[in-house]
Structure 1
């Protein structure tokens, strides 16, 4: 009996701490979402699900929800597609590999907000570096307002999201590639397998657990990513680049609608929880023999 219960007692302090960090804020957010709240966060009368009804009748919220899904899918999938070949190259033995790895990882150490500020300057419609470079190359004849038009602002934000997510993902993939024995490649080469066959039959299957980890972590991170959208456009022009986290911020801290902001946070929590449970279930099913 003591042996059976000892592990649970050992993890109990950490479990209590984690529960306090997660459950107490969650309880407070639920309370805010069910009450009328003033700008100072003071609860008024109980309104039930009124904030949720208002949100689902708000076209800006619906648009932000769909845009969040597009943003997350494009950034996460784009990051995985770009990171795999970069990790394969950095895993090769070549002169200057250490420096190349440092250069790839270096952006990870920079504040995401500062990165977004630099990109906002680069994409400035009048004096931005991107317009200057394109004009010098003869690719455009006049300046493009990258962040002032919805047709260009959101795609550029997706591109920025991919670029800033690559270092972390490459780090995960390099850890996975370092665990693949070289003997497998030597045996495959002896049997006549080319580089593509080696990648398809050896590298990719053994890298799959690390791809799963990168996929889940990037999805959670990107879904909640705030600085890129807010710093570059603050959800504009005309709310055309808002995602859920930036729309939540605008409702709560600009417009003082804290109850609706709390409701959005619960909806975001529910979406991520459902995604995580489904993906973990599918991943566990694939790993079963």
Structure 2
């Protein structure tokens, strides 16, 4: 009996700490989202699901919800597609590999807010570096207002999101590639397997657990990512680049609707929780099969 319950006793302190850190704020959000709240956060009368119903009827919230899904899928998918070949190249033995790895990892060490500030300057419609470079190359004849319309602002934000996600994802894949024995590739080469066949039959199957980790972690990270959208456009123009986290910020600190903002936060928490549970279960089922 002592041996059976010992693991639970050893993990109990960390579980209690996690419960306090996670469930206490969630309970506060539930309280705020189900009450009428003034701008100072004081609870008034119970309102039930009124805040959630108000969100469902808000076209800005619905648009931000769909845009958040698009933002997450594009950034996470783009980062995965770029990181796998980059990690494979950096895993090869070549002169200057250490320097190349440092260069790839450097953006990860820079504050995301500072990265967004630099890109906002680069995309300035009048004196930005991107317009100047394109003008010198003869690709455009007049300046483009990159951040003035959703047609150009949101795609540029997605590209920047991909670029800042690649270093972390590449690090995960480098760890996975380093765990694959070289003997497998040598044996496959002796059997006449092409590089593409080696990737399909050896690299990709053995890299799947690390791909699953990258998808879950990046989805949580990107879904809640605030600095890129906020620093570059603050969700504008006309809320056309808002995602849920920037919409939440506006509701809480600009409009003062703390009840609706808490409801948005709970919706985000529920979406990520459901996604993580479903994806992890599917990944574990696939591994057992």
Q: TM-score range by the shorter chain?
A: over 0.9
Partner of 2:67: 67
Cα-to-partner distance string for 1:230-277 (whole Å, 9 max, x where unaligned): 000000001000000000000001111100000000000010011011
Partner of 1:173: 173
Residues 260-275 of structure 1 correspond to what in structure 2 (within 5 A)?
260-275=260-275
1:286 counterpart = 2:286:
yes
- For the residue of structure 2 that corresponds to 1:36, the secondary structure is strand
- For the residue of structure 1 that corresponds to 2:145, the secondary structure is coil
Query: In the aligned structure 2, how far is the partner of 1:102 from the partner of 1:284?
Result: 33
Query: In the aligned structure 2, how far is the partner of 1:208 from the partner of 1:288?
Result: 13
- Give TM-score scaled by structure 1 length: 0.99
Residues 1-150 of structure 1 correspond to what in structure 2 (within 5 A)?
1-150=1-150
Partner of 1:216: 216
1:251 counterpart = 2:251:
yes
Residues 192-211 of structure 1 correspond to what in structure 2 (within 5 A)?
192-211=192-211
Cα-to-partner distance string for 1:153-193 (whole Å, 9 max, x where unaligned): 00000000000000000000000000000000000000000
User: Runs (4+) of structure 1 moved beyond 4 Å?
Assistant: none
| Structure 1: runs of 5+ lacking an equivalent | none
Partner of 1:228: 228
- For the residue of structure 2 that corresponds to 1:30, the secondary structure is helix
Query: In the aligned structure 2, how far is the partner of 1:181 from the partner of 1:16?
Result: 40
- For the residue of structure 1 that corresponds to 2:225, the secondary structure is coil
Cα-to-partner distance string for 1:15-47 (whole Å, 9 max, x where unaligned): 000000001000000000001111111111111
Number of residue-to-residue matches in the alignment: 289
- Give TM-score scaled by structure 2 length: 0.99
Query: In the aligned structure 1, how far is the partner of 2:276 from the partner of 2:65?
Result: 18
- For the residue of structure 2 that corresponds to 1:146, the secondary structure is coil
